[in-house]
Structure 1
Amino acid sequence: MYCNTKTIDTQFYLYAINKYNRQNWEDSDFPILCPTCLGDNPYIRMMKDKYGKECSICERPFTTFRWCPGRGMRYKKTEICQTCAKMKNVCQTCVFDLEYGLPVAVRDHALGLKDDIPTGDFNKEHFHQNLGKELALQGDDLRQAHSAPNAFLERISQGRKGPYYKRNLPHICSFWVKGECRRGEECPYRHEKPSDPDDPLSVQNIVDRFYGTKDPVADKLLRRAEEMPSMAPPEDKTITTLWCGGVTSELAESDLQEYFYQFGEVACINIVQKSSCAFVQFTKRESAENAANKCYGRLDLKGVRLNVRWGKPQQSGAKHHADIEKTTPVPGLPGPLPNPGKVAQYDPSKRAKLAESVPKPMSEPIDLPAMGAMGAPRAPSDFAGPDKGGNSGFQKIHYPSQSKDRMGSGKYAHMAPPSQYNNANNAEKKPGQKRAASDWK
């Protein structure tokens, strides 16, 4: 009953002092909020107050909402009307961008947007009336310009992907700071040391945040973006290719084409699945430089982080061959041998010199004898063999493998296992007869 009386008193108060026509007052069934302000509790109780407050921007009465985001959090309420929130695509409570969660000044700086919103009483009233009619006809078409994909905004907001619920914590207890709080654990406010009063972040204004002027949070983010490292373009102006590392099977060529087309016309995209990378080639150098500056570092595309760098030109075969010829040869190595085919084709005289340098055989070839009856060749009658002292006509060749010490007949012959081939005494023994100890000596 108390809430209804307060609502009626508020309505009569607004009827008396508000200069807007009651037909232009805003009524809504649900607020426009970001995930951070809405909280992590899916079962919240939201209180609705019809025409309970004037908008902080247009000063027009609108339906306010009040709720608690979660346990241990402070109660929050809407601060601006839905018409102003749709015009800037921001949350009705924190007045941050709904797409990236950044201040309005940072988003407008990245997208190059300039909204000429009137600040006078009559012009502001006329502007918001026309804006409300336009939103009723076009729906959410006005929000597309503020929610366009931008690499610069994604790069700034990549440090914090989820909602930041610490923003919903209660305020610091002023009595505890002075040492006079007697509530103890029952105090709904925080008992913490406040920040430096000279800190520029301690003074914030909803109106300045909405218009993007004198916003300390936006100034801090823009200053941090300027200090981020940038990637210097290569000196070769013909290079228009960017290398993207970390490409997985989840990303297709159409996904890369759709994202990089915002920087300029893309000539071709080559994905190398074996190396988990991709090469994006632009038609103009300016487009490649714009994409490199805004995508430098880690780029998030469909939940996959990509590492963007400038592509390196491939080394041509002629240039590689010239680099090899310029190298200093190793001293003391013999020169390369001539190609026999080239020698015979272009210089026949050199082939004759090479033929003279080849040594001739030591003797005339031996005529093979006729075949025997059984098909085995028979040696000539004057051939006694090398072991019988015969004259074979060839010089005797000695191979190291023919040494008696290595054939098992030398001083290590007694260590060999018993066999009928490595012991002469075995020839006198018959099969099945036992060996004597003297046979091993």
Structure 2
Amino acid sequence: MSRPKILIVDDNVKFIDDLSLLLGSSYECFSACTGEEGLANLAKKNYDLLLLDIDLGDGMDGFDVMDFLAEQEIKLPIIIVSHDHSIPTVVRALKKGAYDYIGKKPDLAEVRVILDRAMQEFGFKRDSEFYRDELRRQSGDLIGMSPAIQTIREQIAHIADTPTNVLITGESGTGKEIVAKQIHYSSQRRDKPFIPLNCAAIPKELFESELFGHERGAFTHAYKRRLGKFELADRGTIFLDEIAELDPSMQAKLLRVIQDKNIQRVGGDDFKNVNVRIIAATNHDLKVMVDGKQFREDFYYRLNVFPISIPPLRERREDIPLLVELFIKQKGEELKKNITSISQEALAGLLNYDWPGNVRELENMVERAVILAKGEQLLPVYFTELKCPKMSDPIDYHIAKKQAEENFQRDFIPRMIKLADGNISKAAEQMGITRQGLQKMLKNLGMDSD
């Protein structure tokens, strides 16, 4: 299960560390601070891709490295990473065989797409088992056994392999991007790009360039052609978060893209066809905004073909024990803390809290508690926001988890039996268990299997 090997040659150690951290989950990163050291590394190990700076201080520069590789007929994709965006430098690098040229403050999503395309063109194929694991890692987990979460899972299963646009609604922190990723990575587009874009974070004057790209010379500092998010997401999915913040003029342009399925770069004359699935998300009521003339009605109906609503955490409290278990494990590993459990009183406090920040707030609260913890158990004192009174009838963590599982089973099993037209054997087969196992579950839940 090998990851692609990338050699980063740059005289800025901090930049190497930052880039390695960003790419490290998907690529095995190696580094060198001089051209000579980079060539020595290339002589000892086979790499799948080279990220190369032009200005390497004293000694060989990036062009010298490229010349030597050409002389030795060492062939691998080379991506130039440099502060120097001058046209002569860019042209010279591309003429010498560079696959692409990016700046020192790259867009991570764009970098990943460029790296993947470069390696695909050079014949690199990822190990299939690693790739599946990586897709699962990127998509995140939709944690919960509540009826609401099970309904969302069913909706994802229905919509995943269609090209239909999806509108995800829910309060901040409920996990809208996780649902979007689940849709993408459950679909036939799973091995194509998933490109997220926060509509509220892009200045109005840059939005068109960000979405559709621009040609060289389209405006000041447009030193080279830049692909927009739609081209980067071609044959994949674009996730437009906080879509309610989108300027009306851009709503009109996006509406045209949805209808015509093509884009035009800023400063360009040609139209390019794109095959992109759009998933949008918002914590606003767009129908109310449409009624108030704050959001285009035609654009709203184009987005809202298949709506998915995520309920706030306070309306699915039975999911809290499972989420806490996950976050304790994740944060313990990240922070190198051996946390094994949460106390009964602390869990009771979490179950009674209203969670205005939803799952994100719960995750942050657990992380803070893990940092403060002095032993292996999370205690009420580590949750300063909560009131965690001692319980006369304390709620044991494992009991709460078992209750959540039972609630899930009581909702899920009848649905499966109904889908199987009442046939217990068929329902068991669809669930991946034996008929006897399903009958035992029904008996334990006090449900009739006849």
**TM-score, length-scaled by structure 2:** 0.20
**TM-score, length-scaled by structure 1:** 0.20
More helix by share: 2
